[in-house]
Amino acid sequence: MNVINHNNIDESTEVLSEEIAGKLQLAIQRKQIAKLLVSGGRSPIPLFEKLSKKDIPWKNVVIGLVDERYVDVNNEKSNERLIRETLLQNNAKEASFLGLINDLDSKEKNHQLSQNLYRTFSKGIDVCLLGMGADGHTASLFPNDPNSQKDLQIMNQDFLLYTLADVPPYERISCTKYLINHSKNIYLMIGGKEKLQVLERAELEGLPISHFFHTARTNLVVHYNKI
């Protein structure tokens, strides 16, 4: 794990947006396509807005979600809605997007449909942007959720799984550790002393984020802003 310190969120947003855009551009040059997985939440919104304006061939970029709430895509809690309103704007309107909610009537059918869509990411993810909660969860892999813990310990070869959060909306669908580990570049963007303290004790306590400190393909790069 490599931690890069920034004075504030504006600085971290500028540096990380350049880094991600550069990785996507390089992937497109090498293989005509780039694949990007992103997390939801309020913290990365400035990053998404800045990234959306980058001058890269967005029509060659496929964007997916690290995780999602099992709600309608128009719900205010939907990560897909957030990404469409912030990242899939400006130049990035040309990017392709693969969501995780494809059938709200049947979780089994939704899992099957989404699993088939996300098979493309099992062939390689160029950039994966993770988030982290105050409990050390990342994606929708939670410390006290049995499905999450099973996935982190056993790492089955499914691409997606359903989990339960401690706060509503409780039902979530998440990329598995197995799929996230197909990422060539994994970034975590956090801010504030509390999140840094969680990160520092994560490995000792076996928190979900610690399972991505060192993967088979790459080390986690943390962009930490003090305020």
pLDDT in tens, 4-27: 999 999 999 999 999 999 999 999
Q: Is residue 114 situated within a structural domain?
A: yes
- CA 127 to chain CA mean position, Å: 9
- 71 half-sphere exposure, CB direction, 13 A CA radius: 14
Q: Is residue 201 situated within a structural domain?
A: yes
Distance, CA of 31 to CA of 35 (rounded, Å)? 11
Q: Is residue 140 situated within a structural domain?
A: no
pLDDT, tens digit (0-9, with 9 covering 90-100), for 48-58: 999 999 999 99
Q: Torsion over CA of 137, 100, 74 and 89, rounded to 10 degrees?
A: 90
Domain extent, residue 118, equals 2-134+180-225
pLDDT, position 217:
75
Please compute the mean of the pLDDT values over residues 160-164 and round it to a whole number.
98
Model confidence band, residue 140 (pLDDT cutoffs 50, 70, 90): very high
Q: Is residue 171 situated within a structural domain?
A: no
Evaluate whether 39 touches 67 at the Cβ level (below 8 Å): yes
Closest-CA residue to 76 (of 42, 117, 36): 42
Q: Is residue 207 situated within a structural domain?
A: yes
Q: Is residue 168 situated within a structural domain?
A: no
pLDDT, position 157:
87
Q: Is residue 44 situated within a structural domain?
A: yes
Model confidence band, residue 222 (pLDDT cutoffs 50, 70, 90): very high
Closest-CA residue to 66 (of 204, 182, 168, 224): 182
For 23-58, b/e burial (b = at least 16 CB within 10 A) is: bbbebbeeeebbbbbbbbeebbebbbbbbbebebbb
Q: Is residue 166 situated within a structural domain?
A: no
pLDDT exceeding 70 applies to what percent of the chain? 100
Domain count, the chain: 1
Domain at 24, CATH number: 3.40.50.1360
pLDDT, position 138:
98
Q: For residue 12, give the amino acid letter.
A: S
Model confidence band, residue 60 (pLDDT cutoffs 50, 70, 90): very high
Q: Is the peptide bond before 169 cis (omega within 30 degrees of 0)?
A: yes
